[in-house]
Amino acid sequence: MENHLLHIETEIVNLLKSIYDPEIPVNIYDLGLIYNIDIDDDDRVIITMTLTAPNCPVADSLLREVKEKAETVEGVREAEINLVFDPPWDPSMLSDEAKLELGML
């Protein structure tokens, strides 16, 4: 069972890496916007994430895209997005790949 959940999480992460922040040329996963991916026993996925700014103009479409892509993964019955602003996002949350891409390394 644990291997099944790991496979689902890996697939979700791969899809999240195809979603880009419209203002920063880096995907939302490497930006550090995804805080947690939790999969319960009913194959329901809860993705806890944040935005680079609370007043992000594309928040609705970005959250909808995350939900829709997560729900395309085989084995996912439903995806829920838990949007949080604590802790607030800051550039230290960028992955090394994102820092390199943005010239910060």
What is this structure's pTM? 0.91
Q: Please report where in the chains the tokens 């791969």 appear, as a residue.
A: 14
Distance CA 57, CA 76 (A): 28
Angle (nearest 5°) at CA 61 between 90 and 25: 45
Each residue's pLDDT, cut to its tens digit, for the chain (105 residues) gives 578 788 999 999 999 999 998 888 899 999 999 999 999 988 899 999 999 888 888 889 999 999 999 999 999 999 999 999 999 999 999 999 999 988 887
**Domain residue extents for the chain:** 2-89
- The fold of 2-89 is GMP Synthetase; Chain A, domain 3 (3.30.300)
